[in-house]
Chain A
Amino acid sequence: AQKITQTQPGMFVQEKEAVTLDCTYDTSDPSYGLFWYKQPSSGEMIFLIYQGSYDQQNATEGRYSLNFQKARKSANLVISASQLGDSAMYFCAMRDLASSNTGKLIFGQGTTLQVKP
């Protein structure tokens, strides 16, 4: 069965510094997608970045980048130059791309990030 593990319940980072949020996954499917979402205290889920299992390069979106290590089954999110507005819960999620019938996402437990001024 597919599983996402986020081992850091909470993290602190100083403003303007970079931070890495860990995510490991487990799947036997060769084709899958990995997503990161941000959930601020207001509650909405905001899509940040996507990495496909066959993508040759690590995904980047502005200050967000994904450190994808397929052999280790990890997909860590790197946030550069942290801002106070980055304080939120971050979720790693996976979708099985081999099954065209469903796009359901499996989520990790989340990591709470607090940015210190």
Chain B
Amino acid sequence: DSGVTQTPKHLITATGQRVTLRCSPRSGDLSVYWYQQSLDQGLQFLIQYYNGEERAKGNILERFSAQQFPDLHSELNLSSLELGDSALYFCASSAPLGERTDTQYFGPGTRLTVL
């Protein structure tokens, strides 16, 4: 158990819908990262938050948005869902920036299926 929790574990929805994925980082970790794993794209970095502020953006679609709350949990919102959004979405957390190893610990993931 990495200490990172994600809910829900599975999500099945229809095209055009909107869903919210939730992540709680390890105790004490300030950074939260979101990644998408799909068969054709592999593991792709989406976005990073550090202590409530957006720190870096990767290949995140405009239909997707995220935020990190004062209690450091994070939510990833996916809207106007398309079939191609079906993937495993991971949240990861790491210790405060500046620690060289800065290892990211991953949650169990949310498997999203868009029908």
Contact = CB atoms under 8 A, between A and B. Distances in A.
A102 B101 contact: no
Interface residues of B, number: 28
B98 interface: yes
Contacts of A35: 103-104
A102 B55 CA distance: 6
Majority SS of interface residues in chain B?
A: strand
B25 interface: no
A103 B106 contact: no
Given A45-B92, A47-B2, A52-B101, 4 more contacts: A45-B106, A50-B103, A103-B97, A108-B42
Interface of A: 33, 35, 37, 43-47, 50, 52, 91, 93, 95, 97, 100-110
The 6 closest A-B pairs by CB, nearest first: A102-B56, A45-B106, A107-B43, A104-B45, A44-B108, A103-B102
14 contacts: A35-B104, A37-B106, A43-B88, A44-B2, A45-B90, A45-B109, A47-B104, A101-B56, A101-B97, A102-B55, A102-B56, A103-B102, A104-B45, A105-B45
Interface of B: 2, 31, 33, 35, 42-43, 45, 48, 55-56, 58, 88, 90, 92, 94, 97-98, 100-109, 111
